[in-house]
Structure formats: C-alpha cells, structure tokens
Structure 1
Amino acid sequence: MKLIVGLGNPGNEYAKTRHNVGFMLVDALADHLNITLWKDKFNAKIAEGRIGSEKILLVKPQTYMNNSGEAVGPLMRWYKLEPEDVIVAHDDMDIPAGTIRIRKKGSSGGHNGIKSLISHLGSENFARVRLGIGRPLPGWSVVNHVLAPFPAEDKQAVDEAVKYLIPAVECIITDGLDVAMNKYNPKKQKKQKIKQEEGVQNG
C-alpha cells in the first residue's frame, strides 16, 4: 500500500490558492481513478483506490499546512507503512509556476508542511512531487503569495502540470521512483542551458 498525500489548507477560502496545489493533484487523481468515497480519519480526508495491483490511499490532511505531519504520521503507523511508502505532493516557490520536480527524499527546503512531515514521520526518506508556484512579486510577503490564487497565465500552466503529473504518479506506483524521475522530470531546460552557455563561450 502507498499513501499519496496532497498538502494544502482545508476550507473553500483556500481551495484555489497556490499553497493548495497538492490538494489539486490529489483531487485530480481521484477524478482520474473514479474515486468518490472520502472518509475522515486522523485529521485527514482519505480515500482508497488502486493503481495497477497496488492499493493506494489518497490523503488530504485537514490540520492546515504547517501541521500536516500530525495527520500523515498516525496514518502511516495505522497502516503499518514505512516513510518510503509515502508520496507527497506540495507547492514549491523555488521553481517557476507550472514546473514540476520529482525527488526521492531531501530536507524541508524551508517548507513548513514538509518540515512537519519529517518531524512526525521521523525520516526524510519519502518521495516528493513538487509543483512550482514561483516567487512572490516585489513587495509581497511569502504568506500573501502562497495564500493568493494563481493569476490567469500561471493557472493554465499549473492546470497542465497537474494533468502531466497524473501518469507520473501512476508511474511511481507501478514502475518505481527512478523510472518516473527519469521519464517525467524536465530535461529540456538543462539542454537549453548548456546550448546557451556554449553559445556564450563560442561568441
């Protein structure tokens, strides 16, 4: 069994904000897999389903972002799972809006939701599906940025990223993280950067 956790804040006022892209991906997965029955357990909305032969549990913590681990830790222990069985989708300011990154593990990178998960899971060894939301505008605080809705141009890019990540998450479950990272993590930007650097050097 795998836990697919989307991070976000509960309530309609937060539903379309940047901080809630994790919830958006989990909801899109639920629609894709025709999962409609949600239950409340350990301060989370949970729903069971399958990807291939693997049983999955979709999880939306209801603790608010900064205390996400208070829901995920008990769920992991209740189902007798390891941190490596947990896949977490969350927003990331360090990459442009609509850009994605899949990682095996790592530090919180200053993300309070991830910080809470590391604390309550007792490990950094859980997969991350990072959805870029970009940096705050000049004069904006981080809080104002993450709790604001996406502007139209970013919203389209994020919607496309969510669609792109549905088969990516399925690939993580069926074929493993390494295969999914190799197949779905962006490669073009690296090649373009190398070409640009070569052009500068040759110019």
Structure 2
Amino acid sequence: MPQKRFSGYLIGAFIILLGLYVIVAYNSLVRKEEKMEQTWADVQNTYQRRLDLTPNLVNTVKGMASFEQETLVQVAEARSNALSASGAGLSADSYNRQTGLQDTLAAASNRLIAVIEKYPVLRGTEAYRGLQVQLEGNERRIKVARADFNAAVRDYNEAARSFPKSLVAKMFGFEVKEGFKAVEGAQNNVDIKF
C-alpha cells in the first residue's frame, strides 16, 4: 500500500512538473514572438521615416533647380509603391516585398542625388545638408533594425526548434519564421549616397 501511494505521488509530481514546464515554455515562446514582432515594428518605423524624408528631399530639389521630370516621377512612384506595402503583417512575403520596394525607393533617391551633384549651389544649402544627414542616419537605422529583427527571428526559431520546447511549440502552433535573406545582387547594397 505505501508503495502504491509513493508511486501515485511520483506520477502526480511528474504531471505537475510537466504542466509547469509547458507553461514556462509557452510563455517563453510568447515573449520571443512578441520581441520578434516588436523588432519588425522597428523596421517598419525606419521604413516610414524614409518615406517621410523622401518628399522633403524632392521638394527641396524642386524648389532649387529644374531637373528632368522623369527622375522626380521615379522617386514619387517608388515612394508610393513602398507606402502601399507598409503596415503589412509579419510574414516572409510581406517583409521581402517591403524590402524590395524600399530598396527601389533608395535606388530612385540615389538617382536623384546623382542628378543633384550637377548643382553645387543646391548641395551647399542648409536644407539639403540637413536632409543629407537625416537620410544617411536613417539608412544606418534601417540596417540596424533589420539586423535586430534577424536576431529576434533567430532567437525565436532556436527556441521553437530546440527539444523539448519544440514539442510545446508544435502543440500551440508556434511556427518557425523567416528573417531577411539576401536577394540576388545584395552584394551591391543599396545605400543612399551623397
């Protein structure tokens, strides 16, 4: 009789410990998923900052010199396309699409800046220099935000894939996520240059 009672206690203790582990593992996965979503929001925020700075650049240039209209139209279209993709959900397709559109916007801005090089008076204005500093800083912020997002995705994926936490992840539908991946031509990084 005492042996049955002892084994009953062991089984009960095992069930309680297992239940506690499931709770702790679940909460850990939730925290990591929330961190990942927060870092994605930070990427979105830096993209939005780029979108907000671009019209200032275009307006500064429009007011100071007469440029080929095509360059300004390309920047406006790239900004509009990037703006249409902002705020999309957290999925590999969403952030890969946004990355492509944001890179197109950066490339169009680069073309505009290349045209500006022909106008030394414009390059010397206070408004242009201020925008130059803000745009360069924002490009660095985007790189950092993307790196932070990839780190959060890696941390989440390691937790969701490692045993025995992977059992809890599968039980509650925590799926492995995708971070930023290099696309063809990524070795030719798109930076806004002045």
Shorter-chain TM-score bucket reads under 0.3
Report 1 or 2 for greater relative contact order, CA contacts < 8 Å, sequence distance ≥ 6. Answer: 2
TM score, norm. by length of structure 1:
0.23
Q: Which has the higher strand share?
A: 1
Q: Which of 1 and 2 has greater Rg?
A: 2
